[in-house]
Amino acid sequence: MYPEPGQQGALARAFGCARVVFNDAVRARRDAHAAGERYPTSAVLSKTLITQAKARPERAWLAEVSQVVLQQALREADAAYANFFASLKGERAGARVGEPRFRSRRDARQAVRFTANARWKITEGGRLLLPKIGAIKVKWSRELPVRPSSVTVIKDAAGRYFASFVIDTDPETDRERWDEPEPDAVIGIDLGLTHFAALSDGTKIDSPRFLRRAEKKLKKAQKDLARKRKGSKNREKARVKVAQAHAKVADARREFHHQLSTKLIRENQAVAVEDLAVKGLARTKMAKSVHDAGWSQFVTMLAYKAERYGRMFVKIDRFEPTSQVCSACGHRDGPKPLDVREWTCSACGTFHDRDVNAAQNVKQAAGLAVTACGARVRPGLVPAQREETGSHGIPTGTCAAQQHSTP
């Protein structure tokens, strides 16, 4: 979005008013908790923090923005507390969520949401008309397939404005957008740093290393920022330049992840990856390279695209010894230092590329094979080694598609 100076001021007022209402709601609930009282309901907060607050001189400026923006700020506070309590009770999956904090005008992201009852619309000229803000020029990334139910206006740390729309989609229509891949198209992925990914078919995808390539420019921008006096206009200009440099790196990395994940999901019936301990690796000397690769973001994209387009997505256990086992005969040759990129199996004599072999083991450990009708079946058992007394089966993985009942 490219708002004019007056529209930027109106958006700044909307951001500020929404932030104040959100903070007032958090403060009201903290005060109630400290006093041992029940949390005030949303209806009570709406009456006291919006309707009655507008009548007071110190909060009269709340009337300068759309009522919907203020109501949405209260709903966001409700959602934040709901997530917090669900996390405390163990009802919410993922990392633990802390108590909602106060928002700051210095936060890297400012956002307001307009729902349908705000009567916003897209003009015939392609502009976004928002209440009490005006018609804003928009550069559209794609055509909206249906009428959106809401729009969120976002300002990032680099001073850029974006409009994000919520629309209802039809899963069947989404799946018809792409041609159905071959029934036996299954791929295993081994993520790494030397190469971003090695695939079980032998393909290797180089790591773009966006952050490493931009380090010189980032270093100069951050040095200029450190030399500016705090609170000065020049320091704010230097801060924006640093944010823009980081945004450029993040955008390039996100685009790379989107293109690669879309290609893999489009061409395969099933995709298998290893469940990496990214948080642990990010505390090692490889931290900068791990963050630069962005494995978590890439795996998240694979998961939601697989669900959306009717593919199977499988995560295998992170403790599976994919780099120690021969993918040809199943013999375990033991751990190998990271500088060993190629090795020969001592049992069957097969020569392996370390990363490609790991990707093939990821595929096998996932236990996936897709029949012509699209049903999942277990592959055959790996033959036991002569020195072993019994055979070892194929360990199972965690299938996101099973959790979401994807056909």
Three-state SS at 373? coil
* CB-based contact 268:186 (threshold 8 Å): yes
Sign for the CA dihedral angle at 210, 216, 220, 225 comes to positive
DSSP 48: I
Instruction: Describe the crossing of helices 5-34 and 67-88 by its angle, rounded to 10 degrees.
Output: 40
Q: Max Cα separation, the chain?
A: 86
Q: Do the bridges between strand 161-166 and strand 150-155 make them parallel or antiparallel, or are there none, so unpaired?
A: antiparallel
Angstrom distance (rounded) from CA 406 to CA 309: 9
- The 10 Å Cβ neighbour count of residue 216 is 9
190 catalytic? Reply is yes
Q: Can you say whether residue 119 is alpha, beta or left, with left for phi > 0 and alpha for psi between -120 and 50 degrees?
A: left
Angstrom distance (rounded) from CA 56 to CA 59: 6
Strand ranges inside 259-403, DSSP E: 270-274, 312-316, 342-344, 351-353, 398-399
Three-state SS at 97? coil
- Among residues 24, 76, 190, 307, the one annotated as catalytic is 190
Helices and strands in the chain, H and E counts:
12, 14
Nearest in space to 78 (alpha carbons), one of 104, 39, 48? 39
- Among residues 24, 76, 274, 307, the one annotated as catalytic is 274
> Which amino acid, 355?
D
- Among residues 24, 292, 320, 355, the one annotated as catalytic is 355
Active-site annotation, residues: 190, 274, 355
